[in-house]
Amino acid sequence: MDTASVQLLSTVVIIVGLLFAMFALMWQMNSQSGRLEAKIDAQSKDMDAQGKELEAKIDAQGKDIEAQGKELRAEIIAQGQRVSDAELEQARLNGVNSVLTQFAHTHEPQTGDD
């Protein structure tokens, strides 16, 4: 073989080697891209599931808070009713006392003429 054919052969080998290296790099990048996409999809599904769990927990807490609010409102109404009952009893006692004090100040015996 002469020098020109050796140079041509070495050039062809270098070009084939470069093409093979480029093909191997592209295949490796494509493979890694596929694995990364699969990981991203799995993480996305996991995050969606966690988001749904959080929404369910927030809804449950909201319902609990709403129920507690209703209980508090009912208790406040009941407290108001108890105050009203106490005020009515006090008014009754004040009325009885006012009648009794009239007789106590006049020192007159109570008669049935009223």
Cα–Cα distance, 108 to 97 (Å, whole number): 16
Q: What is the pLDDT of residue 91?
A: 87
Cα–Cα distance, 41 to 28 (Å, whole number): 20
Give pTM, 2 decimals: 0.43
| Residue 107 reports pLDDT greater than 70 | no
- Residue labelled with tokens 């699969």: 38
Q: What is the pLDDT of residue 57?
A: 94
Q: What's the angle, vertex CA 89, arms to CA 99 and CA 111, rounded to 5?
A: 20
- With a CB cutoff of 8 Å and minimum separation 6, the contacts of 110 are 103
The mean pLDDT of 23-35, rounded to a whole number, is 92
| Residue 84 reports pLDDT greater than 90 | no
Asked if 103 and 110 count as a contact pair (C-beta separation under 8 A), the reply is yes
| Residue 42 reports pLDDT greater than 60 | yes
Chain-wide mean pLDDT for the chain? 86
